[in-house]
């Protein structure tokens, strides 16, 4: 019998993991990527396997502070005016997902996926022979203001309720743990479980290299449509031709909404843009990745140097970037590191694929049985890459995943209401 032809659309970390998983499951796999694998959101993130990231983006009471955040030119949350109409359905669901019981349930659904995320990477890295790409570093959430630290307690308690170890530390103990921190940092929380990728692009490339060495095909084409029949999608249409297929995985990150619309379906997904700068001449490179709790800036040492990331900007994927705003925030946050000046070696903007309920979309399309959705991983796409690949491989073979995937189903309301207690 000839092998079934699977097409994975989008070659970020999620698509790369899905493509390799399908190959492992005996499919004839083609990864379709319009650019180069790993150059979407996957390229520029904070490289964290965020195993302690149980709290969703929206926490109870947050709505009260949103107007103040939006008016503050130093705040990382931005909603571009021209994008307000497009983001309104998302914002309404986001507001509804802030109810305390829903936050608790969403946190549980994130914790369930997180509990598998690390071990799935362990297996994946062993399989591709690159255990060096991820290490357990822990992560410090650092605060220069005791008031901001007090306000963070809700998130720390939520983690603890889901079994995550949280170590609260004051000044000297923090500096001992990470000597690159400046004296301005007075308090912090340390999450020992967190892991860090040496470089998310290199991780993706290593997975794609293995995929290709084992006979997987990489097609540099842009998907522009689908042909369908009674059994589902029969052909993928691209800028270069048409390809017969038996199975389709949509894993195109923030672009997935448009592909899903071409299939006649709707998902509540928007681009949530983030920025990074690579810093040159940093006097100290932190060994433990840091998050400034005062400014929402992450700092991580990669194999290519020091990276700072920030911003949650709701706007079109291709809107002109606002690097000056991001850099004002980076400069404000730089005080958490000893002697750090923000000498920018390079700058980047990219789009997180974000859902209002901070949960990814993993599951079969309702309309087309041979289509599987795997996107919407928001702030945790690197973290959830390997586990998403494994689940997609299981669904593709019509097996039941050994994890309840109902919380991530594509036809939910995206406000947490599907997670009834």
Ligand X SMILES: Cc1cc2nc3c(=O)[nH]c(=O)nc-3n(C[C@H](O)[C@H](O)[C@H](O)COP(=O)(O)OP(=O)(O)OC[C@H]3O[C@@H](n4cnc5c(N)ncnc54)[C@H](O)[C@@H]3O)c2cc1C
Q: Interface with ligand X by CB under 6 A: which residues?
A: 9-15, 32-35, 39-42, 44-48, 50, 222-223, 251-255, 274, 276, 309, 350, 352-353, 375, 377-383
- Strand (E) or helix (H) holding 5: strand 5-9
Output the CA torsion sign for 371, 377, 382, 388. Answer: negative
Using CA of residue 155, residue 161, residue 166, residue 171, what is the dihedral sign?
Answer: positive
Q: Select 184 or 323, whichever has its Cβ closest to ligand X.
A: 323
Widest CA span in the chain: 67
188 vs 385, which CB is nearer to ligand X? Answer: 385
Q: What is the DSSP string of 323-385?
A: HHHHHHHHHHHGGGBTT----EEEEEEEEEEE-TTS--EEEE-SS-TTEEEEE--GGGTTTTH
Instruction: State the minimum distance, in angstroms, from the CB of residue 259 to ligand X.
Output: 6
Whole-number minimum distance, CB 2 to ligand X, in Å? 25
In degrees rounded to 5, what are phi and psi of residue 306? -90, 130
- Residue 159 or 379: the one with the smaller Cβ distance to ligand X is 379
Of 330 and 375, the one with the shorter C-beta distance to ligand X is: 375
Closer to ligand X by CB, 60 or 253: give it.
Answer: 253
Q: Give the nearest distance from C-beta 130 to ligand X in angstroms.
A: 18
Give min distance, CB of 7 to ligand X, in A.
10
CB of 376 to ligand X, least distance (A): 8
150: exposed, middle or buried (Cβ count in 10 Å: 0-12, 13-18, 19+): exposed
Q: How far is the CB of 103 from ligand X (least distance, A)?
A: 20
d(CA 41, CA 28): 27
Q: Which is nearer to ligand X, 136 or 421 (CB)?
A: 136
Q: Report the DSSP beta bridge partners of residue 29.
A: 6
Least distance to ligand X, CB of residue 377, Å? 4
**Closer residue to ligand X in complex, CB, 307/412:** 307
Residues contacting 398, CB < 8 A, separation 6+: none
Nearer to ligand X, 39 or 83 (CB): 39
Helix H or strand E segment including 19: helix 13-24
How many angstroms separate the CA atoms of 319 and 242, rounded? 30
Least distance to ligand X, CB of residue 184, Å: 23
The alpha carbons of the chain give a radius of gyration, in whole angstroms, of: 21
């Amino acid at each position: 019998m000839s092998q079934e032809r699977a097409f994975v659309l989008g070659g970020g970390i999620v698509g790369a993991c899905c493509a390799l998983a399908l190959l492992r499951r005996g499919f004839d796999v083609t990864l379709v990527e319009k650019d180069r694998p790993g150059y979407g959101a996957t390229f520029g993130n904070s490289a964290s396997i965020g195993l302690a990231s149980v709290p969703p983006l929206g926490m109870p009471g947050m709505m009260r502070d949103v107007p103040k955040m939006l008016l503050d030119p130093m705040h990382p949350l931005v909603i571009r005016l021209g994008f307000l109409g497009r983001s309104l359905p998302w914002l309404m669901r986001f507001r509804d997902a802030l109810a305390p019981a829903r936050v608790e349930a969403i946190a549980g659904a994130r914790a369930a996926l997180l509990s598998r995320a690390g071990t799935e990477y362990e297996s994946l890295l062993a399989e591709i022979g690159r255990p060096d790409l991820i290490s357990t570093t822990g992560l410090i959430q650092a605060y220069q203001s005791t008031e901001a630290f007090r306000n963070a307690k809700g998130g720390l308690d939520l983690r603890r309720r889901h079994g995550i170890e949280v170590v609260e530390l004051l000044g000297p103990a923090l500096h001992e743990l990470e000597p690159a921190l400046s004296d301005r940092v007075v308090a912090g929380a340390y999450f020992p479980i967190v892991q860090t990728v040496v470089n998310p692009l290199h991780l993706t490339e290593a997975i794609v290299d293995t995929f290709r060495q084992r006979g997987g095909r990489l097609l540099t084409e842009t998907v522009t449509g689908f042909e369908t029949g009674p059994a589902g999608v029969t052909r993928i249409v691209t800028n270069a031709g048409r390809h017969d297929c038996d199975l389709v995985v949509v894993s195109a990150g923030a672009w997935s909404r448009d592909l899903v619309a071409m299939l006649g379906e709707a998902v509540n997904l928007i681009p949530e843009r983030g920025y990074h700068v690579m810093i040159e001449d940093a006097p100290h490179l932190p060994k433990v990745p840091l998050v400034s709790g005062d400014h929402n800036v992450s700092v991580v040492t990669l194999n290519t140097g020091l990276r700072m990331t920030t911003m949650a900007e709701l706007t079109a994927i291709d809107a002109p970037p606002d690097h000056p705003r991001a850099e004002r925030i980076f400069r404000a946050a730089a005080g958490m590191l000893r002697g750090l000046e923000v000498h920018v070696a390079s700058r980047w903007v990219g789009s997180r694929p974000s859902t209002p309920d901070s949960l990814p979309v993993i599951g079969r399309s309702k309309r087309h049985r041979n289509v599987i959705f795997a996107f919407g991983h928001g702030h945790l796409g690197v973290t959830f890459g390997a586990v998403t690949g494994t689940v997609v491989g299981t669904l593709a073979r019509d097996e039941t995943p050994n994890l309840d995937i109902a919380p991530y189903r594509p036809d939910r309301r995206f406000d947490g209401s599907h997670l009834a207690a």
